[in-house]
Amino acid sequence: MEFDLAYLMAQGPALMRGLWLTVQVSAISIVLSIVIGLMGAAVRVLKLPVLDKLVVGYVEFIRNTPLLAQLFFIFYGLPTIGLKLSLFWSGVLSLTLWAGAYQVENIRGGLETVAKGLREAAFSLGLTPWRFFRLIAAPMAIRVGLPSMLNTSISLLKNSSYLQAIGLAELTYVAIDRISMDFRTIEMFVAICVIYLALVLVLSVFANRLENRLNKPFRV
């Protein structure tokens, strides 16, 4: 079967609709996972009673169970206890919780590089632990941990393809649906590979520019 560029162009609108949904789900999940990462890392570093153990348990559970199993639990399991979410928000929740666990460790690693003397100096000046974390530790931790945070965000973007398993019409779902109807496998997989590659490159360029901006004041 020869590669049919005309067929691929004809499927452009459907692929763009899938791409838009992929971008929406991924963008929301990346932002929320970073929020979870910041909160979880703060709890870990400040060693807050009870909450510290809960965050450790959450991280270990997410990192040691398959994302697909987590997705199925959220979409099929939660309705049995009265918590029914739409396809879109089931996908966002599963990706957010998955990436959030990794972002906790990414940011915690960055926080560990903050010099102990800075903390002591901040407390001696009357800063509360929360203000120290928000104004000093978190910005420094994000600057140090940005590369690993980017890797997690890229993995989240690629893992959004799992959402086709619950019927969310994102990019991979659209491609597989077209394959099942028209049997044009090569065209569809080439298309989604190129699109995912482009998305990852855009995300990488954005992160690199952000990293350069954050590191600029520290360059000699």
From the list 87, 101, 103, 83, the residue with the least C-alpha distance to 165 is 87
Measured CA to CA, the distance from residue 107 to residue 128 in angstroms comes to 20
CATH of the domain at 36: 1.10.3720.10
- Asked if pLDDT for residue 61 goes beyond 90, the answer is yes
Distance CA 214, CA 207 (A): 10
What is the share, in percent, of the chain residues with pLDDT greater than 70?
96
Quote the domain boundaries for residue 186: 5-218
State the pLDDT at residue 182. 80
Question: Is the pLDDT score of 130 beyond 80?
Answer: no
Nearest CA-CA partner of 132 in 145, 146, 114, 107: 114
The domain tally of the chain equals: 1
